[in-house]
């Protein structure tokens, strides 16, 4: 899978594909895909910027739902009050 496609899928999953930050991350991934005129120093700088964008976007993303037995139990008992 190419970097640009992976970034697009991640942003889609997070619901941030149409955000300004998401567009910037996609632009950087697109520039990294076109390596014909890209010098190694520029590629390293773009990778660092992309990492920063993705870390910031991850903080904006909704929390991933856990899919295990503990999460199932928590959802079953969510909202119940203890009787005294």
Q: What is the pLDDT of residues 13-35, one digit of tens each?
A: 999 999 999 999 999 999 998 88
- Taking only the tens place, the pLDDT of each residue in 62-78 is 887 666 677 667 767 77
pLDDT at 76: 72
Over the chain, what is the mean pLDDT? Answer: 85
pLDDT at 77: 72
d(CA 17, CA 14): 8
pLDDT at 65: 67
pLDDT at 83: 61
d(CA 70, CA 74): 6
Q: Kindly report the CA angle at 67 between 2 and 70, in degrees rounded to 5?
A: 150
């Amino acid at each position: 899978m190419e970097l640009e496609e992976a970034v697009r899928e991640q942003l889609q999953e997070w619901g941030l594909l149409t955000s300004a930050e998401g567009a910037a991350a996609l632009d950087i991934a697109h520039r990294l895909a076109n390596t014909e005129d890209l010098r190694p120093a520029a590629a390293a700088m773009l990778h660092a910027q992309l990492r920063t964008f993705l870390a910031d976007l991850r903080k904006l993303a909704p929390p991933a739902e856990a899919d295990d037995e503990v999460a199932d139990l928590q959802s079953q008992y969510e909202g119940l009050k203890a009787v005294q």
